[in-house]
Amino acid sequence: MTVTQIASLLDGVVEGDKNIEITTISKIEEAKKGSLSFLSNVKYYKYLYETEASAIIINDDFVPKQKITPTLIKVKDSYEAFTKILTLLSKKDEKKGIDKSAHIDKKAQLGKNCYIGRFSTIESNSRLGENVKIHENVYIGENVVIGDNSVVFQGANILSDTVIGKNCIIYNNAVIGADGFGNAKDKYGRFTKIPQIGNVTIGDNVDIGANACIDRATIGSTKISNGVKIDNLVQIAHNVEIGENTALAAQTGVAGSSKIGKNCLIAGQVGISGHLNVGDNVIIFAQSGIAKNIPDNSRVQGSPAIDHVNYKRSFIEFKKSGNK
């Protein structure tokens, strides 16, 4: 594609040679002639004056400090624009049809244009919407509902009574709807398993990362709301509720019956204790331990977590103590 064609897709303005042809996409620090890259993070501005890229997507308010060789495509939001280009280029021929080796129960219902890959299983009374893609070696239990345009990648297990909305992506080897970690001690001090008879409900436009686990509720539902993004290796326990557009990064664990609000950002390796409430618009920094309720709009860090500003002040004292 030419720079002019790319700019037209992005509603961008070209500064430089409009007829340059783009043959690949590269990181700005590794780009060569023919490459398209983007720049949104100030940490990488230095590469703009060194890169061999032919064209750079950049914010329209950028003002260079010295001469620039690449052609610029100026847009309102360079990160969003570059994501759009990647999405367009990543679209491949969609798989279609049902493989001979797939097992589909006679009582299961499939919508139009579904794809079912090799050795996948769909049990009785499960219902798939239109354009659902079930890749290889997937297990879908009884009474599962999966909405239109959702995709389940290789090796995932969607267990009985799970409800998944539209436009969701379930990545490799995720397990949704397994029994929650429910045990109680008897009078002899021995653990007795508590039956987990609830389910998991997942809204629309949700992503569940590889090897993530979302447990079914003891009773009622474990609830993942619209737009939630869950990274790889995340554990969501029984009866947890997560509000709309919240994101949880890798290796985070949320204990049973805790409720997390809307628009939260939870970084990697965060641990959230059970039966807690985390408010809306909360940011929890990496490796924090949450042992009490967190009010709306908070920024917390540490274990046990405290206000982010207070944590930074405290850390100065920690460093001083460590140097003695």
What residues act catalytically?
A: 238
Burial 224-237, CB ≥16 within 10 A → b, else e: bbbbbbbbbbbbbb
Give which of 305, 263, 273 is closest to 286, Cα–Cα: 305
